[in-house]
Amino acid sequence: MADEEIYNRIDSSFSKETILHKSIKDTRPDLLQCWFASQNWVDVNTGNRWNQTPLQYAAIKTNTYVLEVLLQVPRVDVTKQDLNGYNVLRSLIYNMVAVDDWQKTIQVLLSLGIDINQQTKHGYSILHLASRNTIPPRVLRFILESCAGLNVAMINKDGENFLHSFVQSINKTSPVSDEFKDRFALLDDIVRGKIACCAHKNLITLLKQRDLNGTTPFLLIINHFDRYRNVNAIKVLRKMAEAGGCSTIADNLGNHPIHYAIACLRKTPVKMLQMLIETGADANAKNIYEQSTAHLVRVDSKDLTFERIKSFVNVMKTTDIEFNASDKWGCFPLMYISAFYDSECLPFLNDITSTSTVLNTVDNSGSSALHYAAYHDSGTFVNLLIQNGARNDIKDKLGESLIETAKRHLRISSEEALFESSTSEELNDKNQQFFENFKSLQTSKKIEMNMDQFVEELLDHKYRNAGEEEEQINSTICFFVELLCKQVSKHDPRFEMTVFQSGSSKEKTKVNAPDEFDFVLCLDKISEFCDIEERKSTKERKSPRERKGHKERNILNEKINNNVLKLKLIEGHQDVLEFFDENGILISPPIFMYLHKYLKQAL
């Protein structure tokens, strides 16, 4: 049978809904009454194209009245699962927002033989679904306290247990709402062991579980701690750390909780840092880039630099921090501080700089802390480094001295500081000459020139004659993106992709250094199951006269062509069916959800 015939058949729509499906979906009591009169009981277990039964339709609509009526039909099967592994109970929990008699309905379904620990296609248990931020927290509390035989340690395919999901739901809730307080109160009860099924060994298992990115529930709280400032979260974190050793569990990149505490918050509470140290955190622990917390001062905002240095000082009151260790790129913390220096940091930096033994040590590119300070025009910090013994005669691997770095990038403040610290007459002569030349530009007369020739020379200089470094950067980025996409297809073969570079970097119209890149990702596997279908629609458009405020009404009908992607019912289409709606039209949110998850894992 041809695709078009399937789409247009009157007795069988694309979604394969029975009259019972439609009566529930459209809230048609008359159709429902007709179905009961026919006594065609087999329809109660008939699935649509996604294998969803009328029971699941009632659950999705949270129509508990119809659901309980259907449960009395002879030979009703409550264990049937849809395409994504959802049975009627999971469909009800997933869609529950405001239902009055939900407790009774859950108990009825469980009494009919539904497996409380059954998981969906992606590994979600009833606890994962009840933990979502759209579901009232009392639903999760009821299940934890009332349902026997729960396996609370089940994980989904992302390596998350229900506590991961529940903490994420707290992070998405407004911190000033009553619901946030209710969710946090339940978390507090779980951590304190007041929920029987989550006590003792089960609690330790929940707290130690790392997802596919190595993240624990403990790290999820610290990562969003700014939302927890109105509750006693540090006390809960301490309980978690004491019960599960959470302060020492790092993610896949080797970032420990103390890395998160320094790097992810605008203002890190002193009590949190003290709690982490007291429960076993090592302030000098390194991630895979060999960076300790001291390296994490590197941010793009000077006010954050001040807050982070203040955090280091607070940590130093409890334990020693190593400021003389380099990371993977040979950089020391002082280099990052030099790059993002703020004058308010000076009282703290005096203590740090005076004890440093690496003031004249260079990174992998041959740059010292003074090179960083000179490049970022931190004149005050240049003086501070020199006062504490930093040499101003070091050259990097490009052969540039500190003053040459400052000159090339027009860093006037740091250049003046460097010249003031120099005793060389030759340098001072060059300094005077540079400033005289620089100031003369401000008073020079207008130069007559051929603008067309000037523009051509400028274009040649800026991007037509791209250097080897620019080409290498561009090719490296392209290789990296292709590598990521190959890794994504390993996670899910449906996401096999062809990568095309686009935008100014590809067209060679990019001005300045190559610092942004655009790519088009073509989903080859999914496209095999798609036909382009043109749909014409008419849109009313106001005339220019009306838009300008005139009272007379003049509406123009504008025909718009909207192309959609329609599912081809060929062999294997079931694999991509979840990306299409009830009319067989491609919908993008599920695709982006998967793509985001797989890219994160690939990275």
Written in H, E and C, the secondary structure of 286-303 is CCCCCCCHHHHHCCCCHH
Token pair, residue 93, equals 């929990």
Mean pLDDT of 40-47: 89
| Domains of the chain by residue range | 1-115, 323-422, 429-531+572-602
CA distance 488 to 427: 55
Region of 512 on the Ramachandran plot (φ > 0 left; ψ -120 to 50 alpha; else beta): left
Asked if pLDDT for residue 221 goes beyond 60, the answer is yes
Tell me if 310 sits within 8 A of 303, measured CB to CB.
no
Provide the pLDDT for residue 202: 97
Secondary structure of residue 556 in the 3-state scheme: strand
Residue 335, pLDDT score: 87
Which two three-digit tokens encode residue 519? Answer: 């790519």
> Out of 168-177, 388-397, 459-468, which region has the weakest mean confidence (pLDDT)?
459-468
Instruction: Phi first, then psi: give them for residue 583, nearest 5 degrees.
Output: -100, 5
Confidence of residue 474 (pLDDT cuts 50, 70, 90): confident
Coil, strand or helix: which one is 586?
Answer: strand
Tell me if the domain spanning 1-115 has CATH number 1.25.40.20. yes
Residue 119 corresponds to which tokens in the numbers above?
Answer: 């998981």
Q: For 514, what's the count of Cα atoms within 13 Å in the CB-facing half-sphere?
A: 24
Q: What token pair was written down for 409? A: 């990038």
Say if 1-115 and 323-422 have the same CATH topology. yes
Proportion of the chain above pLDDT 70, given as a percent:
82
Residue type, 67: L
Q: What is the distance between the alpha carbons of residues 578 and 14, in angstroms, rounded to a whole number?
A: 14
- Give 132-158 pLDDT, tens digit per residue: 999 999 999 999 999 999 999 999 999
- 3-class SS shares of the chain: helix, strand, coil, % to 5: 55, 5, 40
Give residue 1's pLDDT: 40
498-537 burial code (b ≥16 CB/10 A, e <16): eeebeeebbeeebeeebeebebeeebebbeebbeeeeeee
At 5 the pLDDT is: 42
Angle of helix 346-354 relative to helix 379-387, nearest 10 degrees, comes to 30
- As a whole number of angstroms, the distance between CA 64 and CA 99 comes to 8
* pLDDT tens-place string over residues 312-370: 777 777 788 888 899 999 999 888 877 666 666 666 676 666 667 788 999 999 999 99
| Tokens coding 114 | 């539904």
Identify the band that residue 177 occupies on the pLDDT scale cut at 50, 70 and 90.
very high
Where do the H-state alpha helices sit in 209-345?
Answer: 217-223, 233-244, 257-263, 270-278, 302-316, 333-339
How far apart are the C-alpha atoms of 357 and 333, rounded to whole Å? 12
pLDDT greater than 50 at residue 71: yes
Is residue 279's pLDDT more than 70?
Answer: yes
Only one residue has tokens 């691997």, namely: 397
Q: Are strands 555-567 and 530-542 parallel, antiparallel or unpaired?
A: antiparallel
Average pLDDT over residues 73-94: 93
How many C-beta neighbours within 10 Å does residue 570 have?
Answer: 9
pLDDT-derived band at 508 (thresholds 50, 70, 90) equals: confident
Q: Which of 96, 92, 94, 95 is nearest to 109 (CA)?
A: 92
Q: Which of 79-88, 526-535, 547-556 has the lowest mean pLDDT?
A: 547-556
- SS3 assignment for 416-465: HHHHHHCCCHHHHHHHHHHHHHHHHHHHCCCCCCCHHHHHHHHHHHHHHC
Q: Select, from the ranges 5-19, 47-61, 261-275, the one with the highest average predicted confidence (pLDDT).
A: 47-61
* Helices and strands counted in the chain (H then E): 30, 4
- pLDDT confidence bin for 493, thresholds 50/70/90: very high
Residue 464 has pLDDT above 80, yes or no: no
CA gap 242, 239 in Å, rounded: 5
Q: Of 501, 474, 471, 469, give the one whose Cα is nearest residue 485.
A: 501
**Mean pLDDT, residues 40-60:** 92
Give the single-character DSSP code of 578: G
Mean pLDDT of 73-89: 93
Q: Which range (284-288, 391-395, 420-424) has the least confidence? A: 420-424
pLDDT at residue 117, rounded to an integer: 95
Q: Model-level pTM greater than 0.85?
A: no
pLDDT band, very low/low/confident/very high, at 429 (cuts 50, 70, 90): low
The secondary structure of 508-533, three-state, reads CCCCCCCCCCEEEEEEHHHHCCEEEE
Residue 400, pLDDT above cutoff 50: yes
**Cα–Cα dist 487/495, whole Å:** 10
Q: What are the Cα distances from residue 213, in Å, to 135, 206, 219, 603?
A: 25, 16, 11, 10
Position 140 scores a pLDDT of 96
Q: Which residues touch 119 (CB under 8 Å, ≥6 apart)?
A: 85, 125, 154, 156
What is the reported pLDDT for 334?
83
Rounded to whole angstroms, what are the CA distances from 276 to 128, 304, 318? Answer: 28, 21, 10
Is CATH 2.60.120.680 the right assignment for the domain spanning 323-422?
Answer: no
Q: Region 193-202: what's the mean pLDDT? A: 95
- Give me the sign of the Cα torsion angle 350, 352, 356, 358: negative
- Report the distance separating Cα 82 and Cα 582, nearest Å: 14
Altogether, the residues listed in the chain come to a count of 603
Answer whether 367's CB lies under 8 Å from 359's CB. Answer: no
Distance CA 210, CA 159 (A): 7
Per DSSP, the three-state class of 563 is strand
Higher pLDDT, 512 or 226: 226
Distance CA 84, CA 123 (A): 10
pLDDT given for residue 205 in this prediction:
97
Distances (CA, A) of 487 to 210, 524, 579: 21, 15, 21
CA atoms within 13 A on the CB side of 421: 24
Q: Residue 184: pLDDT above 80?
A: yes
Q: Which amino acid is at 294?
A: A
